[in-house]
A and B are shown apart, each in its own frame.
Chain A
């Protein structure tokens, strides 16, 4: 039996490896770098937030101090206006109740010598309802019914 055929054999050096492994390209930062970056961004944000809060508190304090500065002036004017209003009310009461016997004008409501702060309706109850609502509710758009 003569050898007339040639046995098929692997190439010299053998076949190359079968490409079965995942060959994902390596890209982006590593996990540690990303964690560190995130921590950095968070700390930056937190620090800016804290600083802006501090600044806002300072602005609020400045505003409050401006109100504190003029509070005595406003308070004095308010007191005087209130007392004038009470006097006007008493004059009106005198005129309205002149025909009623046994009526004492300007009698206090409480059995005490202490000062009681009158409410807004105690000051403006003699006005017609539209004016009264304006005075009592200030600049509110809703003026009641």
Chain B
């Protein structure tokens, strides 16, 4: 019989979202991927291994906390250049190649104030090995039933009256 699906309580899910538009998120995406690397990798590994969003809420909360910390740091130190950069992206179809000047300004500001370096092209997409303390989950999958045995044709079968049923070009 199907069982009742247990859902996490509302207190666990009551986490504020990052109040930013897509352009702003995209403008800070490369630095975010570098700075919140550990939390991000942990969360994605959890999602991939557990295949259950209810078990990865703590990791998700950590990702959101890291993002809040990251964007607050940017706001305190490089608010102007960041705003310029993401408005440029907003007006230019969110294409990075159209906003190289503002990107350069933002990068220099971030490097001078916070010491962050933009990851090189191809750095974020690399496959990495993540060390965690979370044990590997075990799935209690249903056993696969054994395949039905092949029927054995009786001995001394009479020949077919209508000939062979193999189809070969008439």
Contact = CB atoms under 8 A, between A and B. Distances in A.
A114 to B, nearest CB: 7
A63 B159 CA distance: 68
Nearest to A55: B97
A99 interface: no
B116 to A, nearest CB: 13
B4 interface: yes
Interface stretch (A3-11, A19-27, A73-81, A137-145): A73-81
Nearest to A58: B121
Interface string B36-77: 100110011001000111101101110110010000000000
Interface residues of B, number: 49
7 contacts: A61-B122, A65-B124, A68-B33, A69-B30, A83-B54, A87-B10, A115-B52
Interface of B: 1-5, 7-8, 10, 13, 15, 17-18, 25-26, 29-30, 32-34, 36, 39-40, 43-44, 47, 51-54, 56-57, 59-61, 63-64, 67, 95-97, 119, 121-125, 139-140, 142
